[in-house]
Structure 1
Amino acid sequence: MRPDARAWFEQRTTSAAVPSAIDVDALLRAKRRGGHRVSVVLPARDEETTVGGLVADLAEHWVRRVPLVDELLVVDSDSTDGTARVARAAGADVVAAADVLHAHGSRPGKGEALWKSLAATTGDLVVFLDADLLGDVTHYVPGLLGPLLADPQVDYVKGCYTRPLEMAGATVPAGGGRVTELTARPLLNALWPELAGFVQPLGGEYAGRRSVLEQVPFVSGYGVEVGLLVDLLRLTGLGGLAQVDLGVRRHTSQSQEALGRMAGQVVSTVLARAASLGTEAGGLLTQFSHDGTGFVPSSTPVAVDERPPMISVPEYRALLDVVG
């Protein structure tokens, strides 16, 4: 792994993989001391089967039982099922993306819901969670808030985790995140090698200060995560970014066709931001394995190594002359 990325990974990656290790009382003290207000946002489209349980758990833990969260909002992106009804019944405030900033119209995509959520919430600290999460993920909220509350230099926190992949009745313990491994990671390593330390650059669980989130554009579709990561790197520098290990992330799987569309949007987002770089692509690819205790980074050379056109090789031309 390149030295700068390794140093960042070691200095700026904390662990909340074991929920019992999170000092909630310390977080509450830091929240009160800083006068912070926390908003948790779940963008959702047709997530009736998962959003209710997720909202109910978050509301019970961090609104009613422990006053860590001040706003719990579901932004409904044109759902055709009962997402809004279920989320509201479970304890969330619900707004339709199309009804926020109505004069600006409405665009399809997850990023649109996230962008409009800034106009529908008031917290100076904003936590974003996908609405299709499965299992107990209540520790995600304090885990993501921890670096923001502990260090005023941290402006944006990405969650990382292992992602089991369930296919044809079988489970691959860390097989999820195919668009990350095959598209986003190679592109980021090549164009912004300082971001190589992020385990899940496309992960949907992250938190940031409103003061920085309101200064960057939000890609309307699936490119929103990689766009935010690159744009916030430019705005805050690498020192303003952090990462927290949240353990395991389980969610509903998408079809190959859907993943293809996602990859296309990620590539378009990256290319739009790479146009102004004016630098050569990097030559290392940093990947992550998990040894049962934590993430282990390793780097492999991937720089383009190519031969010139054969006709330009003197020895080859000499052979041609002999044969001719």
Structure 2
Amino acid sequence: MGGHTAYRASDWSAEALLERKGDRTVSVVVPAKDEESTVAAVVQRIITDFVRPDGGGLVDEVVVIDSDSTDRTAQVAREAGAVVHSAKAIRPDLGSVPGKGEALWKSQLVTSGDLVAFVDADLVDWGTHFVTGLLAPLLVDDDVQLVKAVYDRPMIDATGREEETGGRVTELVARPWLALHRPGLAGIVQPLSGEWAIRREAFESYAVPVGYGVEIAALLDTFDRFGVEGIAQVDLGRRTHRHHRHDTLGLMAVQVLAAADRRRGVTTGGADPESTVALTQYARGAEGFEPLVTEVGTGERPPAHTVRMPAHAERGTRAGRR
């Protein structure tokens, strides 16, 4: 594998990493939207393995950012032990837009860890070695700023059966774009992996796309600022997740391309968080093929360090730390 160093999750135990942690703090953030069937197990396993009541564990807080779920995601996550925030309720004075990147950006305003690991809420077949694997490079190598997960990615269809390997947007969009515009990142196995970890100081200095462009943006920003030496990859083994309909992949692709192009000086739509572009797709209807137009969010949030946090919010965050 390329990147600064290739790690395996099995290289480090929680106990060994705890010795390396020192006085640094760790936040695990779980972005979630309509994931009531899986989010509780994700939260419970992380808390059980890494969080101590006295605050002396490898992980200091587990925070779920709920993105307008219509099911019981927030309730079951809270019952499982996570601190839960609604994305739209975090700093409402800053407004709210839909998207995964929005949830990750807002998480910076309600967490306090020096190191932040992002773990998706829809995991089915996984282990808490995801957390130790993501944190290890940051704890053992001060040059590493960003850690990207690498894994086998079988997908589960609507009936629960395993089907083709995931990563279609990676292979059809992200990897060709990198080959053309950032060949120095050719060694990154899964540039869009949803599990990653980063130093807060780095992440809060980056502009953050509000949608699915967040992962490619963090990768490119780290590469442009720190070079390939600032990026590590860790093999987590196997990650099973649910299937995305093929027509939703176009929306993801637009957001990935918009974020990537902006980082080479090509602006698609405005930089305002609410900026959108119209994606036209087609489906057969009564009159033949009919256009389906979707406004896709391509805006970005400014670096979090430019957003002043009210003193009472900072106190509340630290008081709520687990």
| TM-score of the two chains, using structure 1 as the length reference | 0.78
Q: Offset at 1:275?
A: 2.7
Q: Offset at 1:257?
A: 1.2
Confirm or deny that 1:202 pairs with 2:192: yes
Question: Which of residues 219, 238, 244 is equivalent to 1:229?
Answer: 219
Following the alignment from structure 2 to structure 1, what is the Cα–Cα distance between the partners of residues 59 and 86? 21
Q: Offset at 1:168?
A: 7.7
Question: Which of residues 49, 52, 72 is equivalent to 2:40?
Answer: 52
Confirm or deny that 1:149 pairs with 2:139: yes
Q: What are the ranges of 5 or more consecutive residues in structure 1 without an aligned counterpart?
A: 1-5, 277-324
1:5-16 alignment to 2 at 5 Å?
A: 8-9=2-3, 12-16=5-9
**Are the structure 2 counterparts of residues 99 and 168 from structure 1 closer, same or farther at C-alpha, using a change threshold of 3 Å?**
closer
Q: Give the SS at the match of 1:201.
A: coil
Question: Which of residues 203, 207, 216 is equivalent to 1:217?
Answer: 207
Confirm or deny that 1:104 pairs with 2:97: no
Question: Which of residues 55, 60, 69 is equivalent to 1:79?
Answer: 69
Identity fraction in percent:
49
Aligned to 1:311: none
- 1:236-289 deviations in Å (ceiling 9; x for gaps): 22111111111111111111111121112111222222236xxxxxxxxxxxxx
Following the alignment from structure 2 to structure 1, what is the Cα–Cα distance between the partners of residues 265 and 49? 45
Following the alignment from structure 1 to structure 2, what is the Cα–Cα distance between the partners of residues 132 and 144? 18
Following the alignment from structure 1 to structure 2, what is the Cα–Cα distance between the partners of residues 185 and 238? 16
Q: State the one-letter code of the partner of 1:165.
A: M
Q: Give the SS at the match of 1:274.
A: coil
Q: Offset at 1:144?
A: 0.5
Q: State the one-letter code of the partner of 2:130.
A: Y
Q: Give the SS at the match of 1:160.
A: strand
Greater C-alpha Rg: 1
Q: Offset at 1:202?
A: 0.5
Aligned to 1:3: none
Following the alignment from structure 1 to structure 2, what is the Cα–Cα distance between the partners of residues 253 and 15? 26
- 1:90-139 deviations in Å (ceiling 9; x for gaps): 11000011111221100110000000101100100000011111123211
**In proportion to residue count, which structure has more helix?**
1
Aligned to 1:171: 162
Following the alignment from structure 1 to structure 2, what is the Cα–Cα distance between the partners of residues 171 and 61? 28
Q: How many residues align?
A: 264
Q: Offset at 1:180?
A: 0.5
Following the alignment from structure 1 to structure 2, what is the Cα–Cα distance between the partners of residues 26 and 229? 27
Q: State the one-letter code of the partner of 1:54.
A: V
Following the alignment from structure 2 to structure 1, what is the Cα–Cα distance between the partners of residues 126 and 230? 29
| TM-score of the two chains, using structure 2 as the length reference | 0.78
Aligned to 1:274: 264
Question: Which of residues 126, 132, 135 is equivalent to 2:122?
Answer: 132
Q: State the one-letter code of the partner of 1:31.
A: K
Alpha-carbon RMSD: 1.9
Q: State the one-letter code of the partner of 1:160.
A: V
